[in-house]
Amino acid sequence: MKQVLTIAGSDSGGGAGIQADLKTMTNFATYGASVITAVTAQNTLGVQGVRVMSRNVVARQLDSVLTDLSFSAAKTGMLANQDIIEVVVEKTQEYQLKNLVVDPVMVATSGDVLLEEEAISSLKEQLIPLAKIITPNLKEAKVLTGYEKEATIELKEIAQELFQLGPEAVLVKGGHSQAEQAVDMFYDGTQYHELSAPRIDTNDTHGTGCTLSSAIASNLALGYDLLTAVKRSKEFITKAIKEGVKVGTGNNPVNHLVKVN
């Protein structure tokens, strides 16, 4: 079985973070392992508390899994601070982690901060250049590029600017725009590809970004090329949002168990 690693924060509510990642990896019939960067007390209403792991604890988890298991792909989610980004960079290089999907998680949809502002330069300058693909949402893309314009017709320009940071490819997610279609833009330095799906009228989108990036990592591990992995993951997340699960009283999570062909 292909092995996939998630390096991310725990969401006690089970909709985002490590829990969303492992469920998604399992659904794609890959073996998911995890390195926990932070424990969040979280539910469908928001984040009630956060305890960030020390650099040393993250390093030990990385050493444990990377000296024993064999990963075909990995993803990063909530990295919390500069110390953790630095240790992830160090270990990615030391163990030559391949097919690294970087989801540059900064702020939860609930408004809770998941990455210290001082860490953004390390994310841009050290981690993103190691990525096979980065998957920022529009807000994260704007922070990473300083891009001010709101219109999603600028998605190609934003993708091009993000590509200059050094990943092999970029997927800018348009989930938070007001447009009728949920449009994401893929760019790998050669080709643009617009991925579009009808916007589903729901607030139950907790964990969409985590789930999408884990699906991409799983599909890369399964041997799909990058664009095919992204297309399969877009199909998956669209269905997962459509069939979202009502488990709490706030913004509920997507359904990680839906199947795509």
Ligand X SMILES: Nc1ncnc2c1ncn2[C@@H]1O[C@H](COP(=O)(O)OP(=O)(O)O)[C@@H](O)[C@H]1O
- Paired sense of beta strands 31-43 and 46-52, if any: antiparallel
Give residues in contact with ligand X (CB under 6 A): 137, 173-176, 182, 184, 197, 199-200, 202, 205, 208-209, 212, 234, 237-238, 241
Tell whether residue 183 is a contact of ligand LCLJCK34 (CB under 6 A): no
- Active site positions, annotated: 173, 205, 207-210
Residues 148, 149, 155, 157, Cα dihedral to 10°: -70
CB 219 within 8 A of CB 24: no
Using the rule CB under 6 A, give the single segment among 59-67, 166-174, 204-212, 224-232 that binds ligand LCLJCK34: 204-212
To ligand LCLJCK34, the closest distance from the beta carbon of 189 in angstroms equals 25
Tell whether residue 206 is a contact of ligand LCLJCK34 (CB under 6 A): yes
- Paired sense of beta strands 100-102 and 133-134, if any: parallel
Tell whether residue 167 is a contact of ligand LCLJCK34 (CB under 6 A): no
Length of the chain (residues): 261
Query: Residue 87 to residues 3, 244, 261: CA-CA distances in angstroms?
Result: 21, 35, 37
Tell whether residue 207 is a contact of ligand LCLJCK34 (CB under 6 A): yes
- Tokens 């992995």 correspond to 229
Nearer to ligand X, 54 or 202 (CB): 202
To ligand LCLJCK34, the closest distance from the beta carbon of 26 in angstroms equals 17
To ligand LCLJCK34, the closest distance from the beta carbon of 233 in angstroms equals 13
- Which helix (DSSP H) or strand (DSSP E) does residue 184 occupy? strand 181-187
Contacts of 3 (CB under 8 A, 6+ apart): 30, 31, 32, 33, 69, 70, 71, 72, 221
Name the site residues for ligand LCLJCK34 (rule: CB under 6 A). 8-9, 11, 16-17, 40, 42, 77-78, 105, 108-109, 114, 205-210
